[in-house]
Amino acid sequence: MKKLLSIAFIVFYTATTFAQGSYAPAQENLEQRQKFQDMKFGLFIHWGIYSILGDGEWVMHNKHIPYDSYKRLAGFFTPQQFNAKEWVQFAKSAGMKYITITSRHHDGFSMFGTKFSPYNIVDATPYHKDPLMELARECEKEGIELHFYYSLLDWGRPDYAFGSEIRNGKPVKGDWDSYIQFMKNQLTELITKYRGVKGIWFDGDWERRNVNWHYDEIYGLIHRLNPAIMIGNNHHLAPKDGEDFQMFEKDLPGENHTGFSGDSKIGALPLETCETINGSWGFNINDNTFKSSKQIIHYLVGAAGRNANFLLNIGPMPNGKIQPEFTDTLAIVGKWMQKNSESIYDTRGSYVPPQPWGVITVKGKTQYVHIMQPQGNYIFIPGQKEKVSKAVLLSNSNTLKFKQLPEGVFIYTDGIAMDGVDTVIKLTVD
Ligand code: FHN
């Protein structure tokens, strides 16, 4: 009886401990979280065999292409003009500090050499090379961090059994244990073979809300292989135990234009939000809804002011080139970063919430006031707590007049040439 009671206690204790969250991030991970937040700006890349069709990464699903027909695309995928150096330079000159690339999207095609599926770029295409390995080497050389997007959802694998009813945490059809093991095997490859990888970006959870994804095992494995790795999951929910950052899709933290962000209240983890440079993730030949450099800068600044990183997505073409509309826009963003990046890198969001005129980013005793929507001859910063000793324009160090009251600070902008994109004022505070 005594033995039974102690077993019951252990079971109860373990269950409640796990329910409260058992993950204690390692020191390397805590340091990586700081570094991640310091980087602020990353390049998201959606690239796969779907790029050949120029209709986005959901083309197989949206156009009802049977899996066996879709798989033929692998036979035509020869990105001869892919050049890891060019991609990394493209990201660097835009002011980006990290790259997150699709290693495997929902179509199940692995864009890296893997022993665990023949359906991969090295074995199934005439290209026979591993672009992610080239990218990993180049990123390491250039001091750019590499993260891998990894889809949980798979439209083609029989063990995943897309469309199957879910019962008792598993698809009725398929072989769930085999699928979970497959993901663990691939994730082990991605973390151990590709030097320098610092993040895993999961996506597709939302397709099966009532399945057991075995996150405790998967996240545990990743952190055992490399405790520093930042795990994020685009499940559009509050972060789960074992995750290292919270992500938002097409919404700045606190917004919910997409309908995805309603259940993901802002928590204490580092934040990241992703958005597309046009309207598509994967290459879409028909999508001309290009965002302007000003829109992209505003998104970046808006994210930084809300304490989040901005991961800007491009879908490269099937030949491995990045289309000129993207390179042109990001060259302008890069020029802006050359002049203004001190107000972005290494900053955190202010306790002052976003205002009609813009946002504030903070680095130690410096606060950067970003005026993106000028309001007239002054702006008001409500609830400014620290005493302001100096206000200057970041662009030319000219001093600005200000008045501090218990309710906040007025900064007078009359007589100064406002920047059409973002007028940055540098406040020194005590
Ligand atoms: O279905 C995917 C989509 O293709 C793309 O990868 C985005 C990126 O955030 N995430 C999913 C939709 O939530």
pLDDT at 15 over 80: no
The whole-angstrom separation of Cα 9 and Cα 285 is: 60
Q: Please tell me the least confidently modeled range out of 257-261, 394-398, 417-421.
A: 257-261
Of the pLDDT bands very low, low, confident and very high (cuts 50, 70, 90), residue 368 is very high
More confident residue, 3 or 231: 231
Ligand 1 centroid–CA 171 distance in Å is: 22
In angstroms, what is the span from residue 161 Cα to ligand 1's centroid?
20
Q: With beta carbons less than 8 A apart as the criterion, state whether 317 and 278 touch.
A: no
429 vs 352: CA distance, rounded Å: 14
Determine the Cα–Cα distance for residues 119 and 115; give it in Å rounded to an integer: 10
Closest CA to 94 of 57, 167, 43: 43
DSSP state at residue 30: H
Distance 311 CA to ligand 1 centre (A): 13
Contact 82, 111 (CB under 8 A): no
- pLDDT classification of 11: cutoffs 50, 70, 90: very low
149 C-alpha to ligand 1 centroid (Å): 10
Reported confidence tier of residue 21, pLDDT bands at 50, 70, 90: confident
Residues whose CB falls within 8 Å of the CB of residue 346, separated by 6 or more in sequence, listed in order: 38, 40, 363
Q: pLDDT-based confidence at 14, cuts 50/70/90?
A: very low
Give the ligand 1 atom nearest the CA of 274. Answer: 9
Q: Tell me the helix, strand and coil percentages in the chain, rounded to 5.
A: 35, 25, 45
Q: How far, in Å, CA of 363 to CA of 152, rounded?
A: 37
Work out which ligand 1 atom sits closest to the CA atom of 153.
1
Residue owning the nearest CA to atom 1 of ligand 1: 204
| 65 Cα–ligand 1 center, Å | 19
Ligand 1 centroid–CA 203 distance in Å is 7
Looking at the chain, the domain(s) classified CATH 2.60.40.1180 span: 350-429
Query: ∠ CA(286), CA(290), CA(291), 5° rounding?
Result: 160
Give the angle subtended at the CA of 31 by the CAs of 28 and 36, to the nearest 5°: 120
Task: Please tell me the least confidently modeled range out of 18-27, 106-115, 310-319.
Answer: 18-27
CA 96 – ligand 1 centroid, Å: 21
Select 350-429's CATH number: 2.30.29.30, 2.60.40.1180, 2.60.120.590, 3.40.50.700: 2.60.40.1180
Q: In this model, does residue 6 exceed pLDDT 80?
A: no
The share of the chain scoring above pLDDT 90, in percent, equals 92
Instruction: Summarize pLDDT for 195-220 with one digit per residue, the tens.
Output: 899 999 999 999 999 999 999 999 99
What is the reported pLDDT for 260? 83
What is the average per-residue pLDDT within 285-310?
Answer: 98
Lowest model confidence (mean pLDDT) among 1-5, 40-44, 109-113, 338-342: 1-5
Contact criterion met (CB below 8 Å) for 133 and 77: no
Pocket (CB within 6 angstroms of ligand 1): 57-58, 203, 234, 249, 274, 281
Which position has the token pair 């959870």?
205
Q: Tell me the pLDDT band of 13, cut-offs 50, 70 and 90.
A: very low
> How would residue 7 be classed by pLDDT, with cut points 50, 70 and 90?
very low
Q: Whose CA is nearest to atom 5 of ligand 1?
A: 281
Best mutation site among 147, 203, 237 for ligand 1, i.e. most ligand atoms within 8 A of its Cβ?
203
How much is the average pLDDT of 25-43?
98
Q: How far is the CA of 229 from the centre of ligand 1 (A)?
A: 21
- Arithmetic mean of pLDDT, 103-132: 98
Q: 264 pLDDT exceeds 90?
A: no
* Cα torsion angle, 279, 284, 286, 290, sign: positive
Q: How far apart are CA 83 and CA 103, in angstroms?
A: 17
Determine which residue's CA is closest to atom 7 belonging to ligand 1. Answer: 281
Average pLDDT over residues 66-93: 98
Q: Average pLDDT, stretch 418-427?
A: 97
Task: Determine how many CB atoms are found less than 10 A away from the CB of residue 380.
Answer: 16
Indicate the pairing of strand 358-363 with strand 366-371.
antiparallel
Distance CA 96, CA 261 (A): 25
Q: What pLDDT is attached to residue 262?
A: 75
Ligand 1: atom nearest CA of 313 is: 8
User: How far is CA 134 from each of CA 88, 209, 215, 358, rounded to the nearest angstrom?
Assistant: 11, 35, 29, 40
State the fold for domain 2-343: TIM Barrel (3.20.20)
Q: In one letter, which amino acid is 6?
A: S
Among 281, 283, 312, name the best residue to mutate to test ligand 1's pocket (greatest count of ligand atoms within 8 A of Cβ).
Answer: 281
Q: Report pLDDT for 258.
A: 85
* Residue 410 Cα to ligand 1 middle (Å): 42
Largest CA distance in the chain: 84
* Mean pLDDT (the chain, rounded): 94
| pLDDT given at position 159 | 98
271 and 306 Cβ atoms separated by less than 8 Å = yes
Task: Give me the percent of the chain exceeding a pLDDT of 70.
Answer: 95
CB-count exposure of residue 237 (10 Å: 0-12, 13-18, 19+): middle
Q: Whose CA is nearest to atom 3 of ligand 1?
A: 281
Q: What is the pLDDT of residue 349?
A: 98
Q: How many CB atoms lie within 10 A of CB 66?
A: 9
Q: Three-state DSSP class for 230?
A: strand
- For a substitution probing ligand 1, which of 153, 234, 264 has the most ligand atoms within 8 Å of its CB? 234
Phi, psi of 77 (to 5 degrees): -90, 105
Q: What is the pLDDT of residue 17?
A: 33
pLDDT average, residue stretch 293-316: 98
Contact indicator for 253, 266 with CB cutoff of 8 Å:
yes
Which pLDDT band holds residue 411 (cuts at 50, 70, 90)? Answer: very high
Pairwise CA distance, residues 104 & 153, whole Å: 10
> Which residues lie closer than 8 Å to 71 by C-beta, 6 or more apart?
119, 124, 156
CA atoms of 408 and 415, how far apart (whole Å): 22
Cα distance between residue 408 and residue 390, in whole Å: 15
Cα–Cα distance for residue pair 427/430, rounded to 1 Å: 10
User: How far apart are the CA of 154 and the centre of ligand 1, in A?
Assistant: 13
Could you give the C-alpha distances from 49 to 159, 201, 210, 308, 360, in angstroms and in order?
Answer: 22, 20, 30, 31, 41
Looking at ligand 1, which atom is closest to the CA of residue 46? 6
Is the confidence at residue 383, as pLDDT, over 50? yes
What is the distance in A from the centroid of ligand 1 to the CA of 347?
Answer: 28
Query: Which of 249, 283, 284 to probe ligand 1 with, by most ligand atoms within 8 A of CB?
Result: 249
